[in-house]
Structure 1
């Protein structure tokens, strides 16, 4: 158990005793929260449960808090318990008890290892080089996978490859019909320009635009020259994407190709299941005549939503109240294939892929492959930007329509804000910023954006210029950690306005600051004659702790609860916030108190505190996917 859960259990029992004495049961809606107070003078942990109990027990909150404090004064982990106005129960920890009872390390519940969680992230269109907006998705997804593994779950990471979409078709059209010349070292960079050029050519040539529809049909058919060209383009660019993500420590277990979903009959199996639901119907009139549509439940046949849907162009992928899954010409929408994919993720489709190796440690779906134990998840997390909320809701609706209520409840869309460009950065990339907007969206069709490798090169050069020494971690590794942390530290719902100069800054709340704090701790331990990965024995006699030491101890003690809260809420920013505060508190500790030159009565404890800080910071950096360097 975590420290908070231990305290909460004891407090719950004390509250239960008070209620029983008054002949009451636990009230509905009563939520017992144990938190760390913002101010250290209010204790190490606190609860406001007395304020919530006042109307049930019909007593002043401070009186209830006083009774609860009396009940808790015998707690072995508490050195002091007090009631505070208007009705808080404040608890001061006995740090000797905490250090000697194995609370400095936390291992997750073993039973979680039986629960598989599938995390899908990245899922970039395989038609050109990746940009920094794609990298935010991958960093969030990879961090969630690391976090869920850290708290004990069995995690499988998927990268869905949409090789049948408009974007791949556009690149194929461009390669066949739009000449592009220039010196390129990577195919994805060449296709970046091809994609932009073909988008411009469509505006001048309607015949070329019509060619895209032909290419789309050929890609989906899969038995022709165009389909082979599309597959070769997609596979080469996916190889580049995987390598790019690897520079940031981002890995996958499985690549799932949209073409395999179609050609292996996954949609056909899903289609047969869906036809058993009254919500899945073939429209016979209006603009959607001939389309197979997933209806919203309890919706009138001729309601306003359907009328609005009828005004939409059938080929558009707008948010329709009735979601088109199969168009009248037989072409599947993205959502249709996604429904089949998710039925397979949960082991509900009755069909399996075959697999072959794509790279070291990475598998891919393949018609000529072998069987592997992928999918069959208990929970599924999809990291997709907030613009895709409606399609994700339709996948959940399909699971509900088929009677798979448990799976529908276990499907989670991890939504996040998109990445746009600051005016200064947009101007440097050649965009017209005369409108004076606060941010500018990246546009693949216009060829406007920051490619991942270009950003990594710029950051590496910036760090090289600032470094006085080259020992330790490479500038490129520091650069990758800096970029990754920059994309993770914002709340998920926040749109990141990406400014190149700000991203290149290595001071303040940044990845390099965290990595430096770890290297500093490792350096102190080396000077103390310890391997930085080794923990010295817990001090048998812990001295009276100072306020600086106590502030650091309080934060270290809260790491397991931060992990649990972050995993429960699928929120990596709780970990970035924790890690940054830990680095600050550790820096405050070693800058204000001597460690190696401390009095003999305090030196073992302070060395132990450095080692514990290093261990927890390394744990946090590991969850965030940043290096934990011995030297910077």
Structure 2
């Protein structure tokens, strides 16, 4: 990790300088370096001298020169730096000796964080998945790949809420709402049925009462209605898994919410919670009969959260007065199990392939759970319930586990005006985006989007010898949903999503295939340079820019894994593809002069290797040809 190496050396130089100037008590700012936009300003640069000026009572230029002298004393000039340049008002510009860098073997820091459980997707099993669900899955799966790449042991969970209101609505519809129509899949039929049922509640109040009955039956698990719910949920889950598989998304374990309730996990959690004074049953007021987790003085939740929360969540109700558990109650029990803090364990059955599910008639398997840290990928609207789970852990005294519970929040996917119009939504209000609504049947299904994108790719392709159009389509959609900053609301536009040039997944695949073609032709001509004999006589700007970017790959990987930001990898990969294409255009490789050719072939191979690594982390294919 090149930048970490340089940060370490500069930090040592700064500390040595502070000791020499007898300012040991000075708080030294954290040293940061960056790659300047202009190649003229070095391969890396630091502004630490300017940050130290006040504390050291010297001009930034003087401090920068003193730091440079320390670096030279350390031998850095003879190691990886060809020169250090001081520029007004006090920048320290570092120039890499690229021939030395080529010979170095950089590695990621050793990972000692133990086991990570990542929960993502977790779609209600009541209808087909839509593009909002797919953003969750793509983010979660990329985090899995990212953390595994840097050395973590990762277990992937998909939590199936088979006791919730959404499935209850679908079951009410299956039992009481006649609906006919042409549907290819059960989930698509339930998509329309779910919307029809919710509309029927407004004109048939007795149906809303049926929902309460169905919820009780689903929890009990002993009636014909509960069997209808289980069969519907399992069929839809299989369709969800089929949808996600098209995007390379896999899981280790499906945790059924019904297992948590029926096998006593909530009962065990309830007994633990009863031992704390923060958990009690209300005896009066609108929450009379409810079991509530009280907020401690140190854990006050901000007003904005309270306003966004539902009534029962705002008051931390875990068990409603009618005996029905809230989602949060079951989630608390689930997280206690994730950390191995309950005196119970699930039993498991194979669901398909290497995927396991929780099932009462299954076998024991102690490999699942027992996490050292937990990551939940859930959109920003679930921030309050996630906070409640963390506070429950704290109330029980599990502070370390609460500290290692991470909520990866992200903005929801909405529809652009043109996409909304295509779906028949009234856009006369002139909004910039329109929310999807399962209750109204408004949204773009995952399979529907994949079919549309596949047809677009098929029309635009000039060659059909490489990846199938469907695989390319899935890669394009996946990258589109990943490249935005996590907190950004993705305003989904069909035209934008189906573009195949610019900052797109297709652009990355073409860049990789181009590099692969060059390497293949070089091998056919027996032009395979030996790294020990590759010399750099001089560097063209395009060569240096590409080298400089490649050198930052491990730093990018490490940073993204710590910050849990998949979009960081997208940004890196897009810039790498752009810089490689610039190099390919301006610097002949196979037709280069004999003195330049070995290095350019090596650089092409290094770019291909690095881009392939990034594509793997992003869950995109690395095609030999398109």
TM-score by length of 1: 0.95
Quote the offset at 1:51 in angstroms.
1.5
Q: Quote the Cα distance in structure 2 between the aligned partners of 1:129 and 1:362.
A: 20
Instruction: Show the counterpart of 1:576.
Output: 570
Q: Quote the Cα distance in structure 2 between the aligned partners of 1:168 and 1:514.
A: 40
Q: 1:536 to 1:247 in 2, by over 3 A?
A: farther
Q: Quote the Cα distance in structure 2 between the aligned partners of 1:318 and 1:371.
A: 39
Aligned length: 619
Q: 1:262 to 1:319 in 2, by over 3 A?
A: closer
Spell out, residue by residue over 1:40-61, the C-alpha distance to the aligned partner (whole angstroms, 9 max, x if none): 1111111111112112211111
| Matching residue within 336, 358, 363 for 2:351 | 358
Spell out, residue by residue over 1:144-163, the C-alpha distance to the aligned partner (whole angstroms, 9 max, x if none): 11000111100111000000
Q: Quote the Cα distance in structure 1 between the aligned partners of 2:591 and 2:520.
A: 14
Q: 1:365 to 1:67 in 2, by over 3 A?
A: same
Q: Quote the Cα distance in structure 1 between the aligned partners of 2:517 and 2:7.
A: 38
Instruction: Show the counterpart of 2:444.
Output: 450
Aligned partner of residue 406 in structure 2, secondary structure: strand
Instruction: Show the counterpart of 1:121.
Output: 120
Instruction: Show the counterpart of 2:88.
Output: 85
Instruction: Show the counterpart of 2:297.
Output: 298
2:178 aligned with 1:179: yes
Answer whether contact 2:115 2:371 (CA < 8 A) is retained.
yes
Answer whether contact 1:296 1:321 (CA < 8 A) is retained.
no
2:382 aligned with 1:388: yes
Instruction: Show the counterpart of 1:508.
Output: 502
Q: Quote the Cα distance in structure 2 between the aligned partners of 1:477 and 1:4.
A: 36
Instruction: Show the counterpart of 1:138.
Output: 137
Q: Quote the Cα distance in structure 2 between the aligned partners of 1:184 and 1:503.
A: 25
Answer whether contact 1:47 1:90 (CA < 8 A) is retained.
yes
Q: Quote the Cα distance in structure 1 between the aligned partners of 2:289 and 2:621.
A: 55
Answer whether contact 1:556 1:582 (CA < 8 A) is retained.
yes
Quote the offset at 1:542 in angstroms.
2.4
Quote the offset at 1:350 in angstroms.
2.1
2:256 aligned with 1:253: no
Q: Quote the Cα distance in structure 2 between the aligned partners of 1:469 and 1:402.
A: 61
Q: Quote the Cα distance in structure 2 between the aligned partners of 1:480 and 1:334.
A: 32
Displaced runs of 4 or more, over 3 A: 26-29, 108-112, 316-321, 534-540
Quote the offset at 1:279 in angstroms.
1.4
Quote the offset at 1:505 in angstroms.
1.0
Instruction: Show the counterpart of 2:52.
Output: 53
Quote the offset at 1:285 in angstroms.
1.4
Aligned partner of residue 255 in structure 2, secondary structure: strand
| Matching residue within 338, 345, 359 for 2:331 | 338
Aligned partner of residue 35 in structure 2, secondary structure: coil
Instruction: Show the counterpart of 2:263.
Output: 264
The 5 A counterparts of 1:76-115 are 76-103=79-106, 106=107, 108-112=108-112, 115=114
Instruction: Show the counterpart of 1:554.
Output: 548
Q: 1:538 to 1:154 in 2, by over 3 A?
A: farther
Q: Quote the Cα distance in structure 1 between the aligned partners of 2:18 and 2:245.
A: 56
Aligned partner of residue 287 in structure 1, secondary structure: helix
Instruction: Show the counterpart of 1:427.
Output: 421
Q: Quote the Cα distance in structure 2 between the aligned partners of 1:150 and 1:593.
A: 32
Q: 1:531 to 1:406 in 2, by over 3 A?
A: farther
Quote the offset at 1:426 in angstroms.
0.6
Quote the offset at 1:38 in angstroms.
2.1
Quote the offset at 1:195 in angstroms.
0.5
Quote the offset at 1:110 in angstroms.
4.1
Q: Quote the Cα distance in structure 1 between the aligned partners of 2:524 and 2:378.
A: 45
Consecutive unaligned residues in structure 1, runs of 5 or more: none
Aligned partner of residue 92 in structure 2, secondary structure: strand
Q: Quote the Cα distance in structure 1 between the aligned partners of 2:330 and 2:183.
A: 34
| Matching residue within 566, 588, 600 for 2:594 | 600
Answer whether contact 2:546 2:583 (CA < 8 A) is retained.
yes
Instruction: Show the counterpart of 1:150.
Output: 149
Spell out, residue by residue over 1:414-463, the C-alpha distance to the aligned partner (whole angstroms, 9 max, x if none): 00000000111111111111111111111111111100001000000011
Q: Quote the Cα distance in structure 1 between the aligned partners of 2:189 and 2:315.
A: 39
Aligned partner of residue 182 in structure 1, secondary structure: coil
Answer whether contact 2:28 2:52 (CA < 8 A) is retained.
no
Instruction: Show the counterpart of 1:327.
Output: 320
2:623 aligned with 1:624: no
Q: 1:168 to 1:304 in 2, by over 3 A?
A: closer
Instruction: Show the counterpart of 2:538.
Output: 544
Aligned partner of residue 194 in structure 1, secondary structure: helix
Instruction: Show the counterpart of 1:9.
Output: 8
Instruction: Show the counterpart of 2:372.
Output: 378
Spell out, residue by residue over 1:573-600, the C-alpha distance to the aligned partner (whole angstroms, 9 max, x if none): 1100000000000000000010001011
Answer whether contact 1:295 1:321 (CA < 8 A) is retained.
no
Q: Quote the Cα distance in structure 2 between the aligned partners of 1:337 and 1:564.
A: 34
Quote the offset at 1:609 in angstroms.
0.4
Quote the offset at 1:321 in angstroms.
4.2
Q: 1:503 to 1:227 in 2, by over 3 A?
A: same
Answer whether contact 1:535 1:612 (CA < 8 A) is retained.
no
Answer whether contact 2:380 2:409 (CA < 8 A) is retained.
yes
Instruction: Show the counterpart of 1:588.
Output: 582
Q: Quote the Cα distance in structure 2 between the aligned partners of 1:173 and 1:603.
A: 70
Q: 1:512 to 1:269 in 2, by over 3 A?
A: same
TM-score by length of 2: 0.96
The two structures, once aligned, show a CA RMSD in angstroms of: 2.1
Q: Quote the Cα distance in structure 2 between the aligned partners of 1:526 and 1:557.
A: 24
Instruction: Show the counterpart of 1:212.
Output: 211
Answer whether contact 1:543 1:605 (CA < 8 A) is retained.
no
Consecutive unaligned residues in structure 2, runs of 5 or more: none
Instruction: Show the counterpart of 2:161.
Output: 162
Aligned partner of residue 286 in structure 2, secondary structure: coil
Spell out, residue by residue over 1:195-215, the C-alpha distance to the aligned partner (whole angstroms, 9 max, x if none): 111111111100111100000
Answer whether contact 2:529 2:598 (CA < 8 A) is retained.
no
Q: Quote the Cα distance in structure 1 between the aligned partners of 2:550 and 2:611.
A: 9
Q: 1:336 to 1:530 in 2, by over 3 A?
A: farther
Q: 1:270 to 1:27 in 2, by over 3 A?
A: farther
